């Protein structure tokens, strides 16, 4: 869905750099925000307005504990009021870790000879997909190093394999990508394979800091990366994900820059990013980084809450890099998607045990619960795990915006679809304990639907129990 918020039209040009470090610094160097300023900005966000850079800076410049508490409560309320209890689940799948870049925070960097390099063969990929389907996954993000072997044709081939391989009732219904920036033609090639979101993180938006961390290879070109998602849009790929790697530079700067990137895409292409990611740097093989910009848990939850308020209709992803307890907490502040049952070693899903070997993965993860454990614990918190892919398959792109702006959209579509995909999971893959909790949560959520929707959902659940699959609204 196209959307142009009048007040955010700015004179950006497509395919041109848009980050002005001085401008951002200027906003951040203002005096601490007053409680009244903070309250006003929170109220604007709760009133369904996306925040300007100036308003975002007011939240970032709030330093007294009362204001910080209000920001968190504001994010909690926004999440509760707009998005409800639904959490979308996915899994990452590493396809190859060869890399010709030298990003000093990453275990895959070219100079790291200790890293075991591997690219999945087509057969190995098919086996990984089957293993993921056996776990109940429906949504994947494929991840690649930046290497001549991983060209657009290769990426497209792996996407097609992921969609093609089906086992039992299992199938992958949405394949997202996290890979190097491509040229316009390259983006067209991967779009033609039917990808969902193309995700690229700028790592740090600060141009000088960027230079320090990216020593060699194509990724050393800051502008080429910054404008990559413009090229995706030019290629007709309007479902894109942005992100920053927190720990490389001042977290406040990165939050401002993520909002600025959102402004840019909206100004030039009438559509903001589908998702925002905010990974924190984790331990990696040969990681040599000081802790000058380390982001504490306290600041991390603050930044997630501020992002939620700043871009209320953008999906927010938090991965298994973070420990379970922190993920649970941040779900309350507006995270909308998490991965579950994650393995990041090449070929990890077909191995029995999770390995915590720095030389077999890009970094260490801190949540190694199985998908069933994640679902089970979400249900304990009365959350509604969802594997829904309906919008994307019905061409209803920009669903986060619709959830936000179309009255009743969540009740009419998202919640019922979450229940249907959860029902499939409960019938096909869940442990007995999870299934019991899952049906209880579904029944509770059913009661909140209109009578007609209730009937329709009950009817579809009955059909799922009898063996039908892939039913949605």
Nearest to 106 by CA among 278, 246, 319, 282: 282
Helix (H, G, I), strand (E, B) or coil at 449: coil
Instruction: Give the position of tokens 């290769």.
Output: 154
Q: Could you tell me the smallest distance in angstroms from the CB atom of residue 450 to ligand SAM?
A: 42
Nearer to ligand SF4, 293 or 413 (CB): 293
According to DSSP, residue 83 is labeled I
What is the spatial distance between Cα 112 and Cα 216, in angstroms, rounded to a whole number? Answer: 13
According to DSSP, residue 51 is labeled P
Nearer to ligand SAM, 3 or 201 (CB): 201
Residue 105 within binding range of ligand SAM, rule CB under 6 A: yes
Stretch binding ligand SAM (CB under 6 A), from 176-184, 265-273, 351-359, 460-468: 176-184
What is the spatial distance between Cα 248 and Cα 255, in angstroms, rounded to a whole number? Answer: 13
Could you say which of 363, 387, 401, 429 contacts ligand SAM (CB under 6 A)? 363
Q: Are 90 and 141 in contact (CB under 8 A)?
A: yes
Q: Could you tell me the smallest distance in angstroms from the CB atom of residue 373 to ligand SAM?
A: 22
Nearer to ligand SAM, 300 or 401 (CB): 300
Q: Could you tell me the smallest distance in angstroms from the CB atom of residue 254 to ligand SF4?
A: 16
Stretch binding ligand SAM (CB under 6 A), from 76-84, 128-136, 279-287, 383-391: 279-287
Stretch binding ligand SAM (CB under 6 A), from 130-138, 277-285, 302-310, 413-421: 277-285
What is the spatial distance between Cα 424 and Cα 169, in angstroms, rounded to a whole number? Answer: 9
Residue 279 within binding range of ligand SAM, rule CB under 6 A: yes
Nearer to ligand SAM, 145 or 334 (CB): 145
Q: Judged by CB under 6 A, how many residues of this single chain contact ligand SF4?
A: 9
Helix (H, G, I), strand (E, B) or coil at 276: strand
Residue 179's binding partner among ligand SAM, ligand SF4, none (Cβ under 5 to 8 angstroms by kind) is: ligand SAM
Q: Provide φ and ψ at 443, rounded to 5°.
A: -60, -40
Residue 384 pairs in a beta bridge with: 86
Residue 38 within binding range of ligand SF4, rule CB under 6 A: no
Cβ neighbors of 23 (< 8 A, separation 6 or more) are 53
Residue 145 within binding range of ligand SF4, rule CB under 6 A: yes
What is the spatial distance between Cα 109 and Cα 119, in angstroms, rounded to a whole number? Answer: 15
Q: Judged by CB under 6 A, how many residues of this single chain contact ligand SAM?
A: 22
Rg (CA), the chain: 21
Could you say which of 51, 89, 95, 103 contacts ligand SF4 (CB under 6 A)? 103
What is the spatial distance between Cα 298 and Cα 321, in angstroms, rounded to a whole number? Answer: 16
State the residues that interact with ligand SF4 by CB under 6 A: 99, 101, 103, 106, 108-109, 145-146, 219
């Amino acid at each position: 869905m196209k959307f142009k918020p009048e007040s955010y039209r700015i004179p950006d040009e497509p395919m041109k750099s848009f980050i002005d470090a001085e401008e951002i610094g200027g906003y951040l160097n203002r005096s601490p925000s007053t409680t009244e300023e903070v309250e006003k900005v929170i109220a604007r966000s709760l009133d369904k307005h996306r925040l300007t850079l100036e308003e975002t800076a007011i939240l970032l410049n709030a330093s007294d504990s009362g204001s910080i508490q209000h920001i968190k409560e504001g994010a909690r309320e926004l999440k509760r009021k707009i998005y409800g209890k639904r959490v979308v689940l996915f899994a990452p799948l590493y396809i190859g870790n060869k890399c010709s870049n030298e990003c000093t925070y990453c275990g895959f960097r070219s100079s790291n000879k200790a890293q075991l390099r591997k690219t999945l063969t087509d057969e190995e990929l098919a086996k990984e997909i089957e293993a993921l389907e056996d776990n109940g996954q429906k949504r994947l993000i494929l991840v690649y190093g930046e290497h001549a072997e991983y060209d657009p044709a290769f990426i497209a081939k792996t996407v097609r394999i992921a969609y093609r391989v089906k086992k039992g009732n299992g199938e992958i219904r949405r394949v997202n990508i996290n890979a190097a920036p491509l040229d316009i033609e390259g983006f067209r090639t991967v779009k033609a394979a039917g990808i969902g979101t193309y995700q690229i993180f700028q790592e740090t938006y600060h141009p000088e800091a960027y230079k320090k961390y990216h020593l060699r290879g194509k990724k050393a070109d800051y502008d080429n990366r910054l404008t990559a998602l413009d090229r995706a849009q030019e290629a007709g790929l309007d479902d894109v994900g942005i992100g920053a790697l927190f720990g490389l530079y001042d977290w406040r700067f990165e939050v401002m820059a993520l909002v600025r990137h959102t402004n840019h895409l909206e100004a030039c292409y009438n559509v903001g990013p589908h998702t925002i990611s905010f990974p924190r740097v984790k331990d990696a093989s040969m990681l040599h980084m000081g802790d000058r910009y380390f982001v504490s848990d306290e600041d991390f939850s603050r930044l997630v809450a501020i992002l939620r308020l700043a871009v209320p209709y953008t999906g927010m992803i938090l991965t298994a890099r973070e420990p379970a307890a922190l993920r649970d907490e941040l779900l309350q502040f507006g995270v909308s998607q998490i991965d579950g049952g994650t393995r990041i070693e090449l070929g990890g899903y077909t191995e029995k045990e999770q390995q915590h070997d720095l030389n077999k993965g890009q970094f260490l993860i801190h949540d190694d619960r199985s998908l069933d454990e994640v679902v089970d614990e979400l249900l304990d918190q009365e959350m509604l795990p969802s594997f829904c892919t309906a919008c994307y398959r019905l061409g209803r792109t920009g669903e986060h915006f619709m959830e936000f702006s179309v009255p009743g959209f969540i009740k009419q579509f998202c919640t019922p679809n979450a229940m249907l995909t959860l029902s499939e999971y409960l019938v096909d893959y869940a442990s007995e304990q999870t299934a019991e909790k899952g049906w209880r949560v579904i029944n509770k959520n059913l009661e909140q639907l209109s009578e007609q929707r209730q009937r329709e959902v009950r009817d579809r659940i009955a059909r799922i129990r009898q063996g039908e699959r892939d039913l949605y609204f």
